[in-house]
């Protein structure tokens, strides 16, 4: 009797070399990494909680005492339709208007092609003059 016949096995069962890769450990590692990423991503992307303003379309209430300051495509500043020569001239005009009772609102109209710096200078001038209410006039998006 041969030694294989004693144990009840055939010689080909143990002698063959396995050529397939065992992917079970790879799948286990990938699942663990997936779970780790799912847990850590919300922690990394946290932001400060705040309530953002909602979009609203309020029609402009044109009052004679309101001041409309425009910034043209050429980055020039306009008081209603008259061009303002300098920043000091703008502040001087705003200081005169700020003394009125009730204090008027300043409506800023900026061209879409205008740079941000003249708009910032207008906001600074309004703050220097002590005017409390500033509004930006925009066009609503087209309805679809």
Q: Is there a single domain that holds both residue 76 and residue 129?
A: yes
**61 within domain boundaries:** no
- pLDDT class of 81 with cuts at 50, 70, 90: confident
Domain that includes residue 90, residue range: 67-137
d(CA 107, CA 66): 7
pLDDT at 58: 65
SS3 content of the chain, % helix, strand, coil (to 5): 40, 15, 45
Q: Is there a single domain that holds both residue 73 and residue 115?
A: yes
pLDDT single digits (tens) 1-25: 555 555 555 555 555 666 777 888 8
pLDDT at 20: 76
Query: What six digits make up the tokens of 143?
Result: 């309805």
Q: pTM score, two decimals?
A: 0.57
pLDDT single digits (tens) 102-118: 888 898 888 888 888 88
> Sign (positive/negative) of CA torsion 7, 8, 10, 16?
negative
- What CATH number is given to the structural domain containing 73? 3.30.420
Reported as type and span, the H/E element at residue 111 is none
Q: DSSP letters along 21-63, please?
A: ---HHHHHHHHHHHHHHHHHHHHHT-----PPPPP--PPP---
Q: Is there a single domain that holds both residue 81 and residue 132?
A: yes
pLDDT single digits (tens) 20-73: 778 888 899 999 999 988 888 776 666 667 676 666 666 666 666 788 899 988
**100 within domain boundaries:** yes
d(CA 65, CA 67): 6
d(CA 7, CA 110): 94
């Amino acid at each position: 009797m041969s030694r294989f016949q004693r144990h009840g096995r055939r010689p080909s069962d143990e002698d063959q070399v396995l050529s397939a890769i065992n992917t079970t450990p790879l799948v286990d590692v990938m699942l663990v990494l997936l779970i780790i990423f799912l847990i850590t991503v919300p922690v990394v992307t946290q932001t400060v909680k705040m309530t953002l303003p909602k979009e609203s379309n309020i029609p402009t209430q044109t009052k004679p005492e309101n001041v409309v300051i425009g910034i043209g495509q050429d980055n020039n500043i306009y008081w209603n339709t008259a061009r303002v020569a300098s920043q000091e001239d703008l502040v001087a005009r705003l200081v005169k208007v700020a003394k009125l009772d009730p204090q008027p609102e300043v409506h800023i109209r900026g061209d879409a092609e205008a740079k941000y710096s003249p708009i910032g200078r207008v906001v600074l001038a309004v703050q220097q003059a002590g005017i409390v209410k500033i509004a930006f006039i925009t066009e609503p998006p087209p309805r679809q």
